Structure 1
Amino acid sequence: MSRKLVKSGIIVSVMTLISRVLGLVRDVVIASFIGASAAADVFFFANKIPNFLRRLFGEGAFAQAFVPVLSEYHEKDIAQGDDSNTHTKQLIAQVSGTLGVIVTIVTFVGVIASPILVALFGFGWFLDWFNGGETADKFTLASALLKITFPYLWFITLTALAGAVLNTLGKFAVAAFTPVLLNVCIISIALVGHSWFEEPQYALAWGVFLGGVVQFLFQIPFLIRAGVLVKPLWAWNAPGVIKVRKLIIPALFGVSVTQINLLLDTLIASFLITGSISWLYYADRLLEFPLGLFGIGIATVILPSLARLHATKNTSEFTQTLDWGIRVINVFGWPALAGLMVLAQPIIMVLFMRGEFTSYEVTQVSFALFAYLSGLLSFMFIKILAPGYYARQDTKTPVKIAIKAMVANMAFNLMLAPFLGYVGLALATSMSATLNAYLLYHGLKTNSIFQLSKKTKVFIVKIVLAAGLMAAIVYWLSPEFNVWLQLTVLEQLIKLFYCILAGVVSYFIGLILLGVRFQDFKVT
C-alpha cells in the first residue's frame, strides 16, 4: 500500500508540476500583455468568480463529498465480485445527471446576471460606475468579460466529476494532467488571437472558455476506456445522491473557505488603489505553485485512500496515511517557504518584469507574496487534514471550523486593510488559514482520530533546521534588489538558477546531516 501511495503521489506531483510550469508561462504572457493595469484587475476579477464556483461544484466541496460515497459503492462492487461495477456506474449516472442540471441552471443565470455579480463582488467599481467616476469602465468591462468566462464553470465542473471518478479508480494521471490544457489554450489564444481584439483581455477570456471545452472533451475517452461513461440521469431522491447532498451542503462552505476569503479580499480590494487585485493575483499564483504541486497533489492521492480505509474500518492505516501526508508536505513546504521568502523579488522579476510589468510592480507583488507565504504551511496542512474528516463522511465539523476561520478573516481584513492596504488582505488570509489548520488538527486529536506521532514531530524539527540552513546560504549568495535590476535577463536567469541550485543542494545536505532517510517517507 505504501509503495502504491508513493507512486500515485509522484505521478500526480509530476503532472501537477507540468501544469504549474505552464501556469507560470501563462501568467508571464498575461503580465506581458496587461501587466498590473486596470484591465488586468478586471480580467482577474472576471476569471475569479467562475473559478470560485468551480471549487464549490467541482474540485472542492463536491469532490470531498462525492469521492467517499463513490469509494463506498466501489468497495461494495469489489466485495460482491461485480466486475461490471454496477453500483459504481449507477451512482455516477445519478450524480452526473443531477449535478449537470444544477450547474446548467447556475451557468445560465450567471451569464444573464453578470452585472449583478460584478456589483456584488466588485462593489467599489459599481459605486464608481453609478456615480460616473473616472474608472466607471471597469464595471462595464468586468460584466462583459464575465459573460465569456462564466460558462467555463459548466465544462470544468463535469471535468472535475470525471476526474474524481478516475481518481477513485486509481487513475490519477489523467485528472492531474487535464489542467495543462487550460494553460495551453490561454497561452495560445493570447499569443495568436490577441490581434483579433482591440483589448487583449477579451482574448484571455476566450482562452478560458476554450480551455473549459478542451478539458471536458479530453476526459471522455478515458472514461470510456475505464468502462464508466454512462448516460446521466436526474435522480434527486436516489439514496446515493441524497448521501452526497447531505455531505456537500456543509462542505460547500467548509472546504472552500479559502476561496471565499479570496473573494472577500477582492471585494475590499475594489475600494483600494488600481493594481491591488493584480498584485494579489500574481502573488497568489506564485503561492499556488508549491501549494498545488505538493499540498493539493498529496491531498488528491490520500482522499480516495482514506475513504477506502474508512470503508474497510482500517483505523490504524488511516492514521498512518494522514501522518505520512503531513511528513511529505513538510519536507517540500518548508524549503519552498524559505526559498520564496529569500528569492521573491528576483523570481517575480525574471517571470513577469517585461512589457507593462515594471520594477514597481515587482516590489508591490513581493510584499503581497511575503504576507501569503506566512500561511503557506497552514494552507498545505488544511489540504491534508480536511480529507481526514471528509473521508469519514463528516462534513459538519469542518464547516463549523470554516465559519470561525472566515469570521476571523473578515475581522483581520477590517483590522489590517486600513493600515496595510492589499498587503493586509493577504496577511489576513494567511492568519485565518493558520486558525483553520489549527482547529482541524485539534478536532482530529480531541476525537482520537489522528495525532502527530513523535517520529513526525522530530522529523519536522529536522526539516525546519535544514530549510533554515538553506535560506541562510541562499540569502548570502543573492545580491541586493538594485543589483538584480542592473543585470541583463540572461544574467538574472543564470544568477537565479545558481541560487536555487545552491539552495536545493544545501537543503538535501542538511537533511542527510540531520539523519533524514528515505524510510521516513514510508507509511509505516
Structure 2
Amino acid sequence: MFKAIFTNSFGILFSRILGLIRDLLTASILGANVYSDIFFIAFKLPNLFRRIFAEGAFTQVFLPSFTRSTKKSLFSIHIFVIFLSIILFITLLVNLFPQLATKALAIGFDTKTIELAAPYVTINFYYLTFIFAVTFLSTLLQYKHHFATTAFATGFLNLSLIGALLLSKGSSDDVIVYYLSWGVVIGGALQLLVHLMAIWKIGLLKIVIGGFKYFNKKALLVKEETKVFRKQFFPAIWGNSTAQLSAFLDTWLASFLAAGSISYLYYSNRVFQLPLALFAIATSTAIFPRIARFLRNNDHTNALNYLQKAFWFLATILMLSTLGGFILSDEIVKLLFQRGAFSQTDAVHTSFVLKMYLIGLLPFGLNKLFSLWLYASQLQLKAAKIASYSLISNVILSLALISPMGAGGLALASTISGFLSFILTIKVFGTQQFLDIISSKKALYWLLSALLFTFFLLWFKDFIDGYI
C-alpha cells in the first residue's frame, strides 16, 4: 500500500514543484489584475468539467464497474465513446457561444471584460478533450496498480505553461494570457501522449484496440453493464460536482469583489491543494483499486484494515500540514509570491484566504478517504445526498460571509461545508466503525505530536520573522 502511496506522492510532488514554479512566474510576470483573473476564469471551465466528468465521477464509478465486467474491452470502449461524444458536444457549444460561457463563469465581469475573456475561454476548453482521454487511460493503469505515469504526467502541463510564460515574458498582458491558453492545450496533448506510451508498454493496448474492433458487432453484450454504470454515474456526477460547483461559486461571487480577488483565491487554493493532492488524493488513489476488490469479494476485514492504515498515515500528515500552514501562512505567501507584479497588499490578502482554507484541510482530506468507501460499496446515491447538503450550506455561508470577509469569507464557507460533508460521510460509513479506527493509543500520540509541533512552529515563526 505505502509503495503505491509514495509513488503517487512523489509524482504529485514533482508535478506540484513545477506547478509552484509556474505560479511564481505567473505572479511575477502577470501579477494579480484583470488579465490574471481572465486567465484563471478561462481555465476554470474546462477544469470544472474535467473534475466532474473525468477525475471525479468517471473514475470512481468506472473502476468498480470495470473490475466487475465480464467483457472489459467492450465495456471500457463503449463508455469511452459515450463520454467523448458528450465532451465534444459541450466543446462545440462553447465554441459557438463563447461569451455566454464566459458570462456564466464570471457574471460580475462587465461587457468589455467578457469580450476580452471569451477567446481565451474557447482556447482553454480544447484541453478538456485531451484530459478526458488521459483520465480514461489512467483508470485502466490504476486497474493494473500502475500509478507513476499519471502522477508524473501533470508535470507536462506545468512545463508547457512555464514555457509559455518564458516565451511571452515582457509582452503585453493579453499576449501573455494568449500564450498561457495555448500552453494549456499543448500540455494536455503531452499528457495524452505519455499515457498512450504507458498503455502500450504495460500491455493494455489490446484492450483498447479490441474494444474498438468489436464495438459495433458486440456492443449488445455489455448493454446491461452499461445500464448499471449509467444508473450509478449520474448520482456520482452530482456527488463529485458539488465540490467543483462550490469552487465555481467562489469564482462567480469573487468577480463582484475588487480586481485581484479571483487571483487571491487561486493562489491561496494552490498552496492549500499541495498537501491535499500530495497526501489525501495520492493515498485515496492508491488504495481505491484494492478496497474496491476487497468489497467486491465481501472481504470487509481486509478492506477495513487497509483503510485504518491509510487513515492514521493521512490524519498525521494533514494535521501537521494544517498547523504548519496556518501558523506560517504569512511567511509562505511572502516567500512564494511577493515579487515583481505581486505586491505586499496582494500577499496580505492571499495569506488571509489561505488561513481560511487551511482550517478545513483535515476534514477535506479525510473525507476523500472515507468517501471512496462509499463509491467502492456502490453507495453513489448516498454520497450524492451528502454532497447536496454540503453545497447548500456552502451557498448560504458564502452569501453570509462575503460581505464582512471578502474572498476570505468564501474560503471559510468552503471550509465549514467541508466539515459538514465529513461528518455526514462518517455517519454513512458507520460511526461505530469510525470510532473503532480512532479508539487506540495512536490517538493520544497524535494529539501529543500536534501540541509539540505547534510549540515548535511558534518558535520557528518568531525566528524567521526577521528574515522574510
Shorter-chain TM-score category? Answer: over 0.9
Structure 1 residues 406 and 462: CA distance shift in structure 2, 3 A: same
CA 1:357–1:255 in structure 2 vs 1: closer, same or farther (change >3 Å)?
same
Cα pair 2:238 2:384 within 8 Å, conserved: yes
1:20 equivalent in alignment to 2:12: no
- For residues 410-489 of structure 1, what are the structure 2 equivalents within 5 Å? 410-445=395-430, 450-453=433-436, 458-479=441-462, 483-484=465-466, 487=467
- What do residues 269-313 of structure 1 show as CA deviations (whole Å, max 9, x unaligned)? 111111110000001000000000000000101111111111111
Q: Tell me if the contact between 2:295 and 2:303 (Cα under 8 Å) persists in the aligned partners.
A: yes
When residues 115 and 457 of structure 1 are mapped into structure 2, their CA distance, relative to the original with a 3 A threshold, is farther
Matched residues in 1 for 2:253 and 2:437: separation? 43
> TM-score, normalising length from structure 1?
0.84
One-letter amino acid of the structure 1 residue matched with residue 20 of structure 2: L
Q: 2:26 aligns with which of 30, 33, 37?
A: 30
1:96 is displaced (CA, Å) by 1.7
1:311 to 265, 287, 296: 296
Hey, what does 2:115 align to over in structure 1? 140
Is the contact made by 1:279 and 1:361 (CA closer than 8 Å) also made in structure 2? yes
Please state whether the residue corresponding to 1:123 is helix, strand or coil. Answer: coil
Q: Does 1:228 align with 2:192?
A: no
For residues 281 and 455 of structure 2, what CA distance do their matches in structure 1 show?
Answer: 28
CA–CA separation in structure 2 for the residues paired with 1:124 and 1:436: 29
Amino acid at match of 1:165: L
The C-alpha deviation readout for 1:334-380, integer Å capped at 9, x for no partner, is: 11011111111111111111110111111110000000011001110
Partners of 1:452 and 1:68 lie apart in 2 by 27
Cα contact 1:385–1:440 (8 A) shared by 2: yes
For the Cα contact (< 8 Å) 1:89–1:228, is it kept in 2? no
Is residue 8 of structure 1 aligned with residue 43 of structure 2? no
- C-alpha separation between the residues in 2 aligned to 1:114 and 1:23? 27
Q: Which of 198-207 and 329-338 deviates more?
A: 198-207
Is 2:181 the counterpart of 1:205? yes
Give the partner amino acid of 2:127: Y
Look up the equivalent residue of 2:184 and give its one-letter code.
Answer: V
Deviations 1:439-467 (A, max 9, x none): 00111116x7x424255554244223313
Per-residue deviation, 1:242 = 2.0
Among residues 51, 55, 74, which one is paired with 1:90 in the alignment?
74
Higher helix share: 2
Q: Which runs of 5+ in 1 are unaligned?
A: 77-86, 130-135, 493-524
2:391 to 398, 403, 406: 406
SS in structure 2 of the partner of residue 357 of structure 1: coil
Q: Does 1:191 align with 2:166?
A: yes
2:148 alignment counterpart: 173
In the alignment, the residues of structure 2 paired with residue 290 and residue 121 of structure 1 have an alpha-carbon distance, to the nearest angstrom, of 27
Q: Look up the equivalent residue of 1:368 and give its one-letter code.
A: V
C-alpha distance in 1, partners of 2:95/2:445? 51
One-letter amino acid of the counterpart of residue 367, structure 1: F
**Is 2:362 aligned against 1:387?**
no
- In the TM superposition, residue 401 of structure 1 has moved relative to its aligned partner by 0.6
Once the two structures are overlaid, the 10-residue window that deviates more, 454-463 or 269-278, is 454-463
Matched, 1:158 2:130: no
Which stretch shows the higher mean deviation, 369-378 or 310-319?
310-319
Q: Residue 425 of structure 1: CA displacement?
A: 0.4
Give the superposition deviation at 1:227: 2.8
Shift of 1:154: 0.6
The code of the aligned residue for 1:468 comes to L
Amino acid at match of 2:361: L
RMSD of aligned C-alpha atoms?
1.9
Which of 101, 104, 118 is residue 85 of structure 2 equivalent to?
101
TM-score (ref. length: structure 2): 0.93
Q: Percent identity?
A: 31
Please give the alpha-carbon distance, in whole angstroms, between the structure 2 residues aligned to 1:406 and 1:380: 17
